[in-house]
Amino acid sequence: MQQILIVEDEAIIRSALKRLLERHGYAVSEAESAEEADRLDPQRFDLVIADLRLPGEEGTVLIERAAPVPVLIMTSYASMRSAIDSLKQGAVDYIAKPFDHGELVETVSRILHQQAMRQGEPPEITDEGGDQQIMIGDCDAMQQVYTRIRKTAPADVTVLILGESGTGKELVARALHQQSKRAAASLVSVNCAAIPETLIESELFGHEKGAFTGASASRTGLVEAADGGTLFLDEIGELPLDAQARLLRVLQEGEIRKIGSVETRHVDVRLIAATHRDLAALSKSGEFRLDLYYRLNVMQIDLPPLRERDDDVLAIADILLDKALKRHGREGLRLSRAARQDLRDYPWPGNVRELENALERGVILAEGHLIHPDDLGLAPAATRPQPASVTPPQAPADEAPAEPPPGGTAEGVSLEDYFQHFVLEHQDHMSETELAQKLGISRKNLWERRQRLGIPRKKNARRSS
């Protein structure tokens, strides 16, 4: 239901307007002055209807305060001057009192319809290479994402982006930054899962020379590097508790202190965080600070998984396919009808990242001018086979190789079985960094596989020193 705020000091007119609009299916709130409207937060409404003459400040002050929410001005002075002045200041339209009820309802309906059409436009984003791109998707869930980005970006508040891996959380963070008041400053992106636990505090907050073994020079942290701009912390659910405490101080006090330093420094940073994990549940189990969770969750944006986005899959596939064709010099290649149907029906547990990989395979393997289902390497979810037998990942040369599971050999065990056995066998006495090193993979790859196979982390796992 669309929300309308009426700002009118005359109670009779205000009540009549409220009854009229509620009869037409709108949810209506009331305020007697611009000051009272401020307390109701005009930006959370879909439309503000304000009288020009109000006690205290005039109704036109709400044009800027409510932006980008449209403001319809009512005036008892049906002169061209008052109408033109309000439009020049940014009012979406004006209506003269006494007004016709039918005309008012028609005007409100038109404004809200136009606003909904504008809100449905996906945000344009400039990637790291300077190229322009837009977020893709027309489903209802993505329309809500676009609307939330448009309303949240200029507000300069902390944002928590929730969604499965591969749903495009970094794209949303980039759109929020580029539509914010900080767009001219830096966007610093950090994947908390990709940095070893022993280094993450130094990476984020910096350190002084000699603060720990190997600290041969002082270093500026990434939080300080984002001063004046936006800090994007991806997979914040993987952030160790010590680093969470330091981050909480940044949000509460706007201060950082380098490791090994006794001095604090003020920073002005907007924080955007993202995770695929349930932070509320992690807070209850003690793995995530509850006070930090509440600080992060000022505004929340939920990204839908690809399997819930209907025909968006094919629209995204067409864009990704075009990029893959250019990379491999195979212009003119296209998806067969059966391949498009397979893309439409597949559940996409890996979301957009998995779709991109499937199309890359198709471009490489296709013969002739069509990409067929076999080229994509997909199978229906119900008949999806277990992964083929593969050789386990090799440990680095200076590390002892991880042993194969009992009853199997390194050459004959599936990668998932091998991974699951090794992690469950050793996670009680190894840190995440040590597990990743033994398996010959990155920490980011380790937690991604944990997520896919449903292997929880041990809270009391030993940290590497």
93-148 pLDDT, tens digit each: 888 887 788 888 888 988 887 676 555 567 778 766 666 777 888 788 888 899 89
**How many other C-beta atoms lie within 10 A of the C-beta of residue 59?**
26
Residue 269 has pLDDT above 90, yes or no: yes
Lowest mean pLDDT: which of 63-67, 331-335, 440-444? 440-444
The pLDDT of 402-430, averaged and rounded, is 63
pTM above 0.75, yes or no: no
Average pLDDT rounded to a whole number, residues 414-437: 77
Predicted local confidence at residue 403, as pLDDT = 47
Which helix (H) or strand (E) segment holds residue 419: the answer is: helix 415-426
Q: Are 303 and 340 in contact (CB under 8 A)?
A: no
Nearest to 200 by CA among 209, 208, 191: 191
- The residue ranking higher by pLDDT, 389 or 99, is 99
Q: Write down the residue that tokens 């610093």 correspond to.
A: 188
Least confident of 170-179, 186-195, 349-358, 393-402: 393-402
Residue range 378-386: mean pLDDT, rounded: 53
Confidence of residue 388 (pLDDT cuts 50, 70, 90): very low
Q: How many Å apart are CA 98 and CA 77, to the nearest integer?
A: 10
**Could you tell me which residues come within 8 angstroms of residue 318 by beta carbon, excluding any fewer than 6 positions away?**
none
pLDDT at 2 over 90: no
CA distance 173 to 189: 9
**Peptide bond just before 405 cis, omega within 30 deg:** no
- Residue 410 above 50 pLDDT? no
Mean pLDDT value of segment 253-258: 90
Contacts for 194-200 with beta carbons within 8 Å, 24 or more apart? 194/442, 194/443, 194/444, 195/443, 196/433, 196/443, 196/464, 197/240, 197/431, 197/432, 197/433, 197/463, 197/464, 198/433, 198/463, 198/464, 198/465, 200/239, 200/240, 200/243
* CB of 199 closer than 8 Å to CB of 160: no
Q: Which of 413, 365, 357, 362 is nearest to 388 (CA)?
A: 413
| d(C-alpha 304, C-alpha 302), whole Å | 6
* Mean pLDDT taken over the chain: 83
**Reported confidence tier of residue 414, pLDDT bands at 50, 70, 90:** low
CA–CA separation, 345 and 379 (whole Å) = 10
Q: In angstroms, rounded to a whole number, what is the distance separating the alpha carbons of residues 381 and 349?
A: 10
Please tell me the predicted confidence (pLDDT) of residue 396: 44
Residue 283's H or E segment, with its range, is: helix 279-284
Mean pLDDT value of segment 238-245: 92
Tell me the mean pLDDT in the region 396-406. 45
Lookup result for tokens 């002169």: 79
Q: Are strands 124-126 and 132-134 parallel, antiparallel or unpaired?
A: antiparallel
pLDDT for residue 397 is more than 50: no
- Give the contacts of 167 (CB within 8 A, at least 6 positions apart): 303, 304, 305, 306, 351, 352
A 10 A CB-CB count for 180 gives: 21
Residue 319 has pLDDT above 60, yes or no: yes
Q: Which residues are CB-contacts of 48 (< 8 A; sequence separation ≥ 6)?
A: 4, 5, 7, 37, 42, 62, 66, 69, 70, 71, 72
Which of 18-27, 119-128, 307-316 has the highest mean predicted lDDT (pLDDT)? 18-27
Under the banding of pLDDT at 50, 70 and 90, the label for residue 463 is: very low
Higher pLDDT, 46 or 437: 46
pLDDT band at 189 (very low <50, low <70, confident <90, very high): very high
Over residues 143-167, the mean pLDDT reads 91
* Cβ contact 319:356 at 8 Å: no
Q: What is the pLDDT of residue 407?
A: 42
Smallest Cα–Cα separation from 279: which of 316, 226, 233, 327? 233
When pLDDT is cut at 50, 70 and 90, the band that residue 224 belongs to is very high
For range 348-373, the mean pLDDT: 92
Across-strand partners of 125? 133
At 458 the pLDDT is: 63
